[in-house]
Amino acid sequence: MKVQVNSINLFYEEYGQGVPIILLHGFPLNHLIWNDVVPYLIGQARVITPDLRGHGQSDAPEGVYTMAMLAEDITGLMDALGLARAIVVGHSMGGYAALALALKAPSRVAGIGLVATQAAADTPERKAGRYASVEDVRQWGLRNLAESMSANLTSRGDLQPLVRQMILSTRPEGVIGSLKGMAERPDVTGQLGRIHGPAVVVAGDADKLVPLEKSQTMARGLPDSRLVVISGAGHLPMMEAPREVADALGGLINPTGA
């Protein structure tokens, strides 16, 4: 399904009924990364999986995709669906957007899930690497990015072809806009104490892109958080260990465990 939000068409899929939970994918992927988690959640929640701007079947306008802009897209989607509040879960870049949303519009966020992501800004080296990737994509397209990223996202050989195909299906304008937006995102570590709703931080102990200590720091900074470390998982725990991720997110849907 598609809905017009902030002058773009945003694609999303929806499953089940109950507490609304929005699952945001990371860069440069799409909503399909959550496919194996959704069946575990639909018995207890209304699960919404959008494609962020520039990704999947959503529009890919030119320009810088700031994390605030991605957050505004999600509040626009919530408005279109008649949702005053929702649990918002973000993976990697989706986690940056989820944090931006929780800080900008806390009344809209009933709980936050942060999967393989961090609150820190890019280091100067990482920022330079993103801009180098921008130039590479401009010159050569997505093939180099797809090859290098698929191995960094997961060590699972059975998942890498699917990941590679998702990356190759992303439009260059979306990749470039996202790279620039991530490079310029602010460090929000010092603002985590403002997020007072329930939070769960999910990390894979084999993540090549976000070291475990980044997740631990984030969990310590959130007033009401729980850290779940998944043994052997890399940067895509929702694909590598979907049951464990769903169980962790279930604590946000039903915090009493009843």
Measured distance CA(198)–CA(184) in Å, rounded: 28
Measured distance CA(66)–CA(250) in Å, rounded: 29
Measured distance CA(137)–CA(50) in Å, rounded: 24
Three-class DSSP category at 71:
helix
The type of residue at 240 is E
Collect all residues with Cβ–Cβ distance below 8 Å to 254 and sequence separation of at least 6: 44
239: phi > 0 → left, psi -120 to 50 → alpha, else beta; which?
alpha
Residues of the chain with pLDDT under 50: 258
pLDDT computed for residue 254 by the predictor: 85
Q: What is the DSSP letter of 109?
A: E
The secondary element (H helix, E strand) that includes residue 230 is strand 225-230
Contact between 88 and 102 under an 8 Å Cβ cutoff? The reply is: yes
Three-class DSSP category at 137:
helix
Task: Give the dihedral of Cα atoms 76, 77, 79, 83; nearest 10 deg.
Answer: -140
pLDDT computed for residue 257 by the predictor: 55
The type of residue at 214 is K
What domains does the chain contain, in order, with CATH numbers?
Answer: 2-253 (3.40.50.1820)
Q: Which residue has the tokens 């399904």?
A: 1
For residue 76, give the nearest of 29, 156, 25, 22 by alpha carbon.
22
Q: What is the DSSP letter of 215?
A: H
The secondary element (H helix, E strand) that includes residue 74 is helix 67-80
Three-class DSSP category at 144:
helix
Cis-peptide, bond into residue 28, ω within 30° of zero = yes
